[in-house]
Structure 1
């Protein structure tokens, strides 16, 4: 959870998704293989999440058994894995792919 809340898009699919939906510019950094929203974009995303995101959890002896069941029963539009049935799935996948494609045309950020 800490990395989703304070990390960067290179290590968090949640951050990648939210940043793309918010229109942040995805950039290649470092050697050019890592994709983030840059320092300013990641800071803006962290602040947006602090202001707008909520987290809750449920203790379960075998939490890995719950994921498929929850995805099939709930409307979880930001989850791509195992979620082809969600009507937002294709659009979200397209938004993320477009952001990756756009960043390949830009120079590597410092």
Structure 2
């Protein structure tokens, strides 16, 4: 992480193993794997802090972690107002470390590049502004898992 800029920018996650059920038709591929997710870092949350959050954060602070945990069928639970995979958060961290590679580019105005990449329709794990046909399935999966966690938390 030391070489990741403390600047705004865009990052793309590549995976050498595809999470269960994720389609890869039309995705970018290179020697690092298949590109499944694109994200943005702003002045407030720089590339370094944003990527650190994905690697070591929790389901509430990283939509990528939430999505991966849902695809890995990890139990989500509600703790106070936050949703977390709890003791299973390290499973997401380990999976990301073993199978994920991230490429980033620092840009003072990252939004246009992120939008351009998303509109290409090649990133199945993104939801917002994403025309990829799997985006709706990701949204529904995350909503169902969140709803179940909230219902379980309310009955506890």
Question: Partner residue of 2:135?
Answer: 89
Q: Does the 8 Å CA contact 2:55/2:96 hold for their aligned counterparts?
A: yes
TM-score, normalised relative to structure 2? 0.63
Question: Partner residue of 1:100?
Answer: 146
TM-score, normalised relative to structure 1? 0.87
Cα-to-partner distance string for 1:48-89 (whole Å, 9 max, x where unaligned)? 110011011123343222111111125001111101x21101
Q: 1:37 aligns with which of 73, 85, 88?
A: 85
Unaligned runs of 5+ in 2: 1-50
Question: Partner residue of 2:8?
Answer: none
Structure with greater strand percent: 2
Question: Partner residue of 1:53?
Answer: 100
Separation (CA, whole Å) in 1 of partners of 2:78 and 2:122:
32
Q: Cα offset for 1:43?
A: 0.7
Aligned residues: 104
Structure with greater helix percent: 1
* SS at structure 1 position matched to 2:103: coil
Separation (CA, whole Å) in 2 of partners of 1:106 and 1:41:
17
Cα-to-partner distance string for 1:9-66 (whole Å, 9 max, x where unaligned)? 011111111100110111001x2x100100x210111001100110111233432221
4+ residue segments displaced more than 4 Å: none
Question: Partner residue of 1:18?
Answer: 68
Q: Does the 8 Å CA contact 2:70/2:142 hold for their aligned counterparts?
A: yes
